[in-house]
Structure 1
């Protein structure tokens, strides 16, 4: 099987990590949850179901129940095709995405057709919010400074839904989200509380020639 990302020195990251940085977690979106939440599978299924019921009701006034069911069936077939295509897209997105937490930053390799990598150092993350769902999956979103601008369209679906004006990058539909959020909080707190050590090279005194 061909690996499109074999050029990565570290899986999910564009370059090798410095000696003082290490990975504490890596993961990807759950394809089914991404299909439901980001691609709105339930809403689309409901839409086609309503169309099928409407067609059945309209047809039943002039045709038998069997004929009405036949006339409504194309809407159900169309809905199944659309949902299958959307699941395929969600699966591709899930396979192409790698989320990474290190002791210094959040890394996001996202995109299927056009791949991009986001690096979010902990000091640049103002806040984080976890949207936990049934089954343990969830979305961990990051609020970035106002001067850090992300394109909602370019980074979708790896963003917090509905926040277009101030796009928030997000680890979308990740399994065991509460444990991941705890790892993030611990790593960010440790990083932000670490003392900053400045290294200065002392200048040597100039030699004065003897008279």
Structure 2
């Protein structure tokens, strides 16, 4: 039995009001998260290079130990991201974004669309992407509690992120359309962004 089996609706802590409905639900892809959140290629390259240098300048056994420790550490982080994929469910309704996650400590974060000041879509290839949200005020949830569902280095004012999802441009469009019904927003021109037209939210 999973701790989420008691959810009235998957990904949501309670039944939706009559005037609220689900537009989209999805989960992050652990392989894409490993490349973008963990930067696994850089980490592997660093471990290999450092181990080779150690083996040539000190001893082969020391280099092999460092290689083993580094590989084990990376393996632990990758295993963690697999669990993140299994326990995370993003939900977009006509009134809010709900982020349900938690490997050790479970939490459910409700983000009203009326509080979203900006959203940035970052394309990650193969139609995958992440959408970083900027909210009014300072979110009460801590950065390290939120990670990997937060933008890098946004520690003081964490920016929740819908990370490593498939069909990201399509989801960004749905987010834009849902939010534009609740507040006045206008997309930027393409010259003002590297990825997609947006101002406040992806168009």
Q: Report TM bin, short chain.
A: 0.7 to 0.9
Deviation at 1:148, TM superposition (A): 4.2
Per the alignment, residue 10 of structure 2 pairs with 11
| Structure 1, unpaired ranges of 5+ | 60-67, 194-211
Distance (whole Å) between structure 2 residues aligned to residue 124 and residue 99 of structure 1:
17
- Tell me the distance in 1 between the aligned counterparts of 2:138 and 2:30: 32
TM-score (norm 2): 0.83
Q: Distance in 2 between matches of 1:156 and 1:70?
A: 35
Which structure's CA Rg is the greater one? Answer: 1
Is 1:180 aligned to 2:179, yes or no? no
**Partner of residue 124, structure 1:** 115
Which has the higher mean CA deviation after the structures are superposed, 158-167 or 144-153?
Answer: 144-153
Asked if the contact 1:22–1:102 (Cα under 8 Å) also holds between the matched residues in 2, the reply is yes
Q: Which residue among 147, 162, 180 is the counterpart of 1:171?
A: 162
TM-score, scaled to structure 1: 0.80
CA contact (8 A) 2:138 2:157 kept: no
| Cross-structure match for 2:27 | 28
How many pairs align? 184
Note if contact 1:139-1:177 (Cα within 8 Å) is conserved in structure 2. Answer: yes
Residues 1:155 and 2:146 aligned together: yes
Distance 1:72 1:5 in 2: 44
> Quick one: distance in 1 between partners of 2:72 and 2:88?
25
Q: In proportion to residue count, which structure has more strand?
A: 2
Moved more, 104-113 or 79-88: 79-88
Matching residue within 170, 177, 183 for 1:192 = 183
